[in-house]
C-alpha cells in the first residue's frame, strides 16, 4: 500500500528552553513501507490502530525537539529545520512499525489562552504607562512654555516701563530747561505766567472755594493788573 495517509494530532502543550509554554498543533503524513512488519505490529487493527501509536511517537518528538529551543524559534515563520528534525526522529521511531513518516508540519504555535490573557494585560498596562508618560511629558513641556511666556511678558513690561520712565525723564528735563530758559530771559513774565497757571488750576470748576487773606501773594498779579480802557 503506497498511499500517503494523513495524521492530525490533538493540540499539544510544550515547554521550550526559555520556559515559555506554547500550544502546538501539528500534522504528519505517513505510509506503509513494510506490510508484513506493519501487520505484525498492528494486528487486525490496521491503520486505525496505527494512528494513535504514530501520534504518541510524534508528540514525544515534538516535546523533545521543541523543548530544546527557545520559543522565538518555534514562533518564527522560518522553522523548517525544526520540522525536519521532528520528522527524522519520528521516522526512526516509526520504522519498527513498518511505516515511514513522510512529512511533519507545525500548523499553529501560540501561547496558552491564560498566557494570552496575561500577555494582553501586560501589554495593555505597558501601553497605559507609556501614554501616562507621554501625557506627563506633554504637561511638563506646557508648563515650560507657560513659564517662558510669563518671563517674556514680565521682561517686556519691565522694558516698556523702563523706556516710559526714560521718556518721562527726558520730557521733564526738557520742560525744566524751557522753564529755566524762560525765567532767565524774563523773570517777571515767567512768574506772571506761572501765577496764571496756578489761578486757572485753583479756580477750575464752578464749586471751588478758597480761604485766602487779602494780602496773600497768590493774588499779587490780580491786585496789580490794570484793566484796559
Digit-coded pLDDT (tens) for 65-113: 999 999 888 888 778 999 999 999 999 999 999 999 999 999 988 887 6
- The last residue of one of the domains, among 82, 111, 140, is 111
Domain check: are 30 and 85 in the same one? Answer: yes
Q: How far apart are the first and last CA of the chain?
A: 154
Question: Residue 102's domain is classified under what CATH number?
Answer: 3.30.479.30
pLDDT tens-digit profile of 151-181? 888 888 888 888 888 888 888 888 777 777 7
Domain check: are 9 and 107 in the same one? Answer: yes
Per the structure, the complete domain to which residue 191 belongs is given by 186-229
Domain check: are 191 and 226 in the same one? Answer: yes
With a CB cutoff of 8 Å and minimum separation 6, the contacts of 118 are: none
Residue 204 lies in a domain: yes
Domain check: are 71 and 161 in the same one? Answer: no
Domain check: are 132 and 81 in the same one? Answer: no
Contacts 24+ apart (CB under 8 A), 88-93: 89/61, 89/64, 89/65, 90/28, 90/54, 90/57, 90/58, 90/61, 93/57, 93/60, 93/61
Q: What is the pTM of this model?
A: 0.49
Domain check: are 70 and 154 in the same one? Answer: no
Residue 67 lies in a domain: yes
User: How many independent structural domains does the chain possess?
Assistant: 3
With a CB cutoff of 8 Å and minimum separation 6, the contacts of 110 are: 22, 23, 116
Query: Cα–Cα–Cα angle for 99, 105, 106, nearest 5°?
Result: 135
Distance between CA atoms of residues 22 and 12, nearest Å: 8
Amino acid at each position: 500500500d503506497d498511499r500517503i495517509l494523513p495524521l492530525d494530532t490533538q493540540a499539544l502543550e510544550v515547554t521550550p528552553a526559555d520556559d515559555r509554554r506554547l500550544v502546538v498543533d501539528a500534522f504528519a503524513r505517513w505510509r506503509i513501507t513494510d506490510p508484513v512488519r506493519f501487520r505484525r505490529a498492528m494486528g487486525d487493527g490496521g491503520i486505525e490502530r496505527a494512528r494513535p501509536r504514530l501520534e504518541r511517537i510524534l508528540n514525544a518528538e515534538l516535546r523533545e525537539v521543541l523543548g530544546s529551543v527557545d520559543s522565538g524559534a518555534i514562533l518564527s515563520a522560518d522553522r523548517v529545520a525544526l520540522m525536519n528534525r521532528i520528522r527524522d526522529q519520528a521516522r526512526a521511531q516509526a520504522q519498527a512499525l513498518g511505516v515511514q513518516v513522510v512529512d511533519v508540519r507545525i500548523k499553529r504555535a501560540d501561547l496558552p489562552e491564560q498566557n494570552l490573557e496575561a500577555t494582553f494585560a501586560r501589554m495593555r498596562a505597558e501601553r497605559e504607562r507609556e501614554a501616562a508618560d507621554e501625557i506627563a511629558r506633554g504637561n511638563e513641556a506646557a508648563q515650560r512654555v507657560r513659564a517662558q511666556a510669563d518671563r517674556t511678558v514680565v521682561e517686556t513690561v519691565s522694558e516698556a516701563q523702563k523706556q516710559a520712565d526714560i521718556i518721562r525723564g527726558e520730557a521733564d528735563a526738557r520742560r525744566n530747561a524751557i522753564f529755566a530758559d524762560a525765567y532767565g530771559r524774563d523773570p517777571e513774565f515767567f512768574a506772571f505766567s506761572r501765577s496764571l497757571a496756578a489761578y486757572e488750576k485753583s479756580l477750575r470748576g464752578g464749586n471751588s472755594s478758597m480761604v485766602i487773606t487779602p494780602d496773600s501773594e497768590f493774588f499779587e498779579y490780580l491786585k496789580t493788573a490794570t484793566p484796559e480802557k
